[in-house]
Amino acid sequence: MASDEVYIAGGGLAGCEASWQLAKRGIKVKLYEMRPEMMTPAHTTGDLAELVCSNSLKSRDQTTAPGMLKAELNALGSLLISIAGKSSIPAGTALAVDRKRFSRIVTREISENRNIKVVREEFTDIDSHRPIIIASGPLTSERLSTQLRDLLGSKHLYFYDAISPTVTAESIDMKKVFKASRYDKGEGYYINCPLNKEEYDNFYNALLRSHPFPKWEFEDDKFFEGCLPIEELAARGEDALRFGPMKPVGLKDPRTGKMPYAVVQLRPEDKRGKLYNMVGFQTRLNHREQEEVFRLIPALREAEFVRLGSSHRNTYINSPRHLDRTLLVKGTDGIYIAGQLVGVEGYVESIAMGLVAGLSVWAAISGKEPPYFPPTTAIGALLRYITTVPDGSFQPMNINFGLIDSIKGRYKSKKEKRLAYYRRSIKEIEVIARAIEIKRKTKSSKGNRD
């Protein structure tokens, strides 16, 4: 692919990171940001890379999955993670930033870069004759959404996140479950967590007492009936859940030979069977309460929740169907997607997907092999997840250890094991970092245009 200039739609976290990765390798970028002329319902300034809600980029402890992801991004020379470090404020092990300072420094670095031209306009034209990175985020403008729908097909662009919690397989109490699918149709695909009447009543009452997150003004009160948060369903009556997502019909517990009073079904979330999703348990409950309430399900008493439920406005594509691991839209010559649009959740995950798209386009333009991020790294694990989830069950995901290839060996503690994950990933990332290093320009070198 040869091109004079790369167009990037969206000057948010992913778009800025992608622009920087290209510009510092000598590639000209036109970065389209529609703010302040045209605002999204959540952004409030015209600054690039505005953080719309929390000012936390989560843990920097390298023995956590978000910490490992940040360390990888640092090793790969991420602009935004380095600016986050410069604008950080004390917050224990979390990387919290002064949000205004963060966005202002990003805006300055991007605007002053001579290879980047910031265009304050809505981007509306997906033209496949030049490399394009679409990084317009969860609140992509209406007109660009229509273009994306035309490109991918209306079934493959989603506007609502109705996420149910996910637990790791190893933390489910397997003595308290049985594997079966309703009416024995198909193979024993689901893990069923039975509840007797007393356990159900207990769970139901706790749910009624709990508190959902407040909605953003622009979020519509109406949910699709099939995506109704469980607390809203529970409020309809005592048996609403038993006739809804917790219905036991068609299931027989082999240990009792009977149909349980109620059931929570868990469905594998990845091909490897490491993560399980609580089917139909999308919820807006606050996170602390979610863990407390869901632990009342006997098989989930000790569950490790790698993602909690949510229901909010979002825009993301059916990546497993449409993207390859370089974030190129399959079947196109140079349309890449980055950031939250690819189906990752969170600030740092979105930055990571901007970095990957930037490096992929750079490699394509310079005739190089794009970097391969193995699933032993946090970046590679995210890329594997978004490109391989079985059709029909794709939901946005944040980084967690359930996605990363497990590590063999005996460790004295969980912490020590996680340190081994970190060391393994950093070793791999350093190899990639060396391969993508910017070489000093020599007279004979081609491609660098700055």
Residues found near ligand FAD in the complex (CB under 6 A): 9-15, 32-35, 40, 42-43, 52-54, 122-123, 135-141, 144, 216, 339-341, 346-347, 350
Nearer to ligand FAD (CB atom), residue 159 or residue 411: 159
Which amino acid is present at 278?
A: M
Residue 431 tokens read as: 């190899």
Nearer to ligand FAD (CB atom), residue 107 or residue 265: 107
Beta carbon of residue 314, minimum distance to ligand FAD (angstroms, whole number): 7
Closest residue by Cα to residue 129 from 6, 221, 237: 6
Beta carbon of residue 135, minimum distance to ligand FAD (angstroms, whole number): 5
Beta carbon of residue 306, minimum distance to ligand FAD (angstroms, whole number): 15
Beta carbon of residue 335, minimum distance to ligand FAD (angstroms, whole number): 14
Beta carbon of residue 62, minimum distance to ligand FAD (angstroms, whole number): 19
Nearer to ligand FAD (CB atom), residue 346 or residue 374: 346
Nearer to ligand FAD (CB atom), residue 340 or residue 387: 340
Closest residue by Cα to residue 133 from 39, 1, 314, 41: 1
- The residue number whose beta carbon is nearest to ligand FAD equals 12
Nearer to ligand FAD (CB atom), residue 97 or residue 263: 97
Nearer to ligand FAD (CB atom), residue 12 or residue 374: 12
Nearer to ligand FAD (CB atom), residue 39 or residue 249: 39
Nearer to ligand FAD (CB atom), residue 13 or residue 285: 13
Beta carbon of residue 349, minimum distance to ligand FAD (angstroms, whole number): 7
Beta carbon of residue 138, minimum distance to ligand FAD (angstroms, whole number): 4
Beta carbon of residue 54, minimum distance to ligand FAD (angstroms, whole number): 3
